[in-house]
Structure 1
Amino acid sequence: MITTVTLNVAIDKSYVIDELKPGQVMRVQQCTKTPGGKGLNVARVIKLCGEEVLATGFVGGHAGAYIEDLLREQQIRFDFSHTAQETRTCINILDSNWNSTEFLEPGEPVTEAELQDFLGKFAAVIEKSDVITISGSAPKGVGTDIYAKLVSIVKEKGKKVILDTSGGLLKEGIKACPTIIKPNREEVEALLNISVDDFVALVDGAKRLQQKGIEMVVVSLGKEGALLVTEDAVYHGKPPKLNPVNTVGSGDSMVAAFAVGLARNLPVEDMLRYAISVSAANTLTMTTGSFKEEDRQNLYHQVTINRL
């Protein structure tokens, strides 16, 4: 089983409109509501991949109860810690040209008592899982060392852990040496305090991160796929050229696929190919953090993997 951690859960709303016109009343043509926050996107994709998944993190209020109802409908198991504050809402506006404009609420504060309650039961929640993913932002009231603490708990249990976050949370989190991290180019620059001007410099930066004790560093490259660095090798995986419908959730889909790859003990190259095919398939659907298996299968053999 795989456990996904989402400390800053959200109700994700996608609005489809004709054109975004600031200062004007706009009619929404289509509205989709999904349980959101990066880790819940990961959970949804893991289930689509055919693996058992358990979602944990914080939810609160009527919005939190609504998210639990949506997860029940999707048959995704959960074990959340509950807060006194309402869970946030995030909005993604898609126009007729498929341009995406996102409004992300920060999330209400978590009290120290609520945080300690979550930390106290975290080890028990992950007991039956082989792989744990930790994704996204943290709500107010949570220190930047929270993910380092969670990674350490996971590793003490002898389990594998993927960390996908940014800023101070990522900088502190990598000190605990997760199994996989998935920064983008800008996050590599921020972590190492360098400027990455070309692909060679990006590879070198990823190698430097891997040498900090991280088993695999995956650098997401958007339509150019992903770079994967291990102790022994460097790989570049690239999907075929696509006409994307909605790219939101593609990074989370990649994290989910890597978690599935770890759970299945796939060879590194197969894991990268699988992750890129799942991520690319996500761009072909309107729903955030979703894909059609036929799309993934068609894309799988079109992904190119080069060992550098």
Structure 2
Amino acid sequence: MILTVTPNPSLDRTYEVPALDRGEVLRATAERMDPGGKGVNVSRAVAAAGHRTVAVMPLGGAPGALVAELLTGQRIEVAPVLVVGATRSNIALAEPDGTLTKINAPGPELSAAEAESLLSAVTAHSASAAWIACCGSLPRGLAPEWYAELVTRAHAAGARVALDTSGPSLLAALRSRPDVVKPNADELAQAVGRPLATLGDAVKAAEELRGLGAGAVLASLGADGQLLVSSAGAFYGHASVTAVRSNVGAGDASLAGFLAAGGEGPKALSAAVAHGAAAVQLPGSVMPKPTDLDPSAVTVTADIPLDRALTEQGNPR
């Protein structure tokens, strides 16, 4: 079982539009409504692959009730922590060339009691979890050290933790030694405080995060593929993609594939790359099923072309 933690979940509405013309009335050609949040997406991808998952999150108001209903319909066990504020609603506008414009609401502010209840809910479900995936930004009311406390409690319960967050929350959590962290190129650059122009730069930055406490670093580099840097060495994986339809949740699908495949080594990296490549070819935040995966399109190697320039260079914004 893979347990996911989403401190700031959402109800996501995605509209496909012919073009994004500012100031005009846009007529959508298709629309979707999905439960959102990085941890939620990991649970959705795990469930789509046929594995058991439990999703812990704060939920409030009518949007929160709808998030729980949608997740239950996808065979995901929901462990809600009821909060006073309403769960946020987000909007995404997807253009035919793959360009995505997102409007993310801030979400409710959690009280100290609600923050503690969320930690307690994670601890209560830790015993049966092969992995705990802690994902996304922290809502108002949660200090940057909240994830660090979660990692500490999860380790005390004997669980392995994968962390996908950024900024002060990531740096604070490294002191608690999460087993895996999963930054994208910009988040990796932000963590080390400098731009990343090549794969070699990304490998060096990942090693620095390991020096700060991360057990392993699974770095999503967009069209440039993914890196896995751990005590076993560094591996690089990439896949050929026919056409990008939406990159929403692609990194979350990658993390789900990685954890479902054991969470370590080149085989898990290959699964991560396959899931990410499948996700970008699906509409909105649809998570890939096993039939969507193409393992033959994936290449994983320890012979990393360190001088290769990154198409999507990491910037420490």
- Structure 2 equivalent of residue 143 of structure 1: 143
- Structure 2 equivalent of residue 188 of structure 1: 188
CA shift for structure 1 position 182? 1.0
SS in 1 for 2:3: strand
- Structure 1 equivalent of residue 295 of structure 2: 300
What RMSD in Å do the two structures reach over aligned CA positions? 1.5
Deviations 1:162-206 (A, max 9, x none): 000111111111121111101122222222223333222221111
- Structure 2 equivalent of residue 123 of structure 1: 123
Q: Is 2:273 the partner of 1:280?
A: no
Q: What amino acid maps onto 1:305 in structure 2? A: V
Q: Structure 2 length normalisation: TM-score?
A: 0.91
Deviations 1:196-239 (A, max 9, x none): 33222221111121233322111111122101111131111011
Consecutive aligned runs of 4 or more in structure 1 exceeding 4 Å deviation: none
How many residues align? The count is 303
Rounded Cα–Cα distance in structure 2 between residues aligned with 1:238 and 1:195: 21
Is contact 2:182–2:218 with CA below 8 Å preserved after alignment?
yes
SS in 1 for 2:28: coil
Is contact 1:211–1:231 with CA below 8 Å preserved after alignment?
no
Is contact 1:63–1:88 with CA below 8 Å preserved after alignment?
yes
SS in 2 for 1:80: strand
Deviations 1:103-122 (A, max 9, x none): 01111111112112222332
SS in 2 for 1:176: coil
Is contact 1:56–1:80 with CA below 8 Å preserved after alignment?
yes
Rounded Cα–Cα distance in structure 2 between residues aligned with 1:57 and 1:10: 10
Q: Which runs of structure 2 are paired with 1:34-45 in the superposition (5 Å)? A: 34-45=34-45
Larger mean Cα displacement after TM superposition, 104-113 or 181-190: 181-190
Q: Is 2:72 the partner of 1:72?
A: yes
Change (3 A) 1:165 1:46: same
Rounded Cα–Cα distance in structure 1 between residues aligned with 2:128 and 2:200: 41
SS in 1 for 2:142: coil
Q: Which runs of structure 2 are paired with 1:11-160 in the superposition (5 Å)? A: 11-160=11-160
CA shift for structure 1 position 129? 1.1
Q: What amino acid maps onto 1:26 in structure 2? A: L
Rounded Cα–Cα distance in structure 1 between residues aligned with 2:260 and 2:7: 21
Q: What amino acid maps onto 1:295 in structure 2? A: D
Q: Is 2:265 the partner of 1:271?
A: no
Q: Is 2:218 the partner of 1:231?
A: no
Q: Which runs of structure 2 are paired with 1:225-264 in the superposition (5 Å)? A: 225-262=225-262
SS in 1 for 2:297: coil
Rounded Cα–Cα distance in structure 2 between residues aligned with 1:160 and 1:137: 20
Q: What amino acid maps onto 1:293 in structure 2? A: P
SS in 1 for 2:274: helix
Rounded Cα–Cα distance in structure 1 between residues aligned with 2:100 and 2:194: 29
Q: Structure 1 length normalisation: TM-score?
A: 0.94
Q: What amino acid maps onto 2:296 in structure 1? A: H
Alignment match of 1:291 (pick from 288, 291, 303): 288
SS in 2 for 1:205: helix
SS in 2 for 1:147: helix
Q: What amino acid maps onto 1:57 in structure 2? A: M
Rounded Cα–Cα distance in structure 2 between residues aligned with 1:97 and 1:131: 36
Deviations 1:33-86 (A, max 9, x none): 011111111100001122100000111011111111111211210111011111
SS in 1 for 2:196: coil
Larger mean Cα displacement after TM superposition, 218-227 or 184-193: 184-193
Q: What amino acid maps onto 1:285 in structure 2? A: L
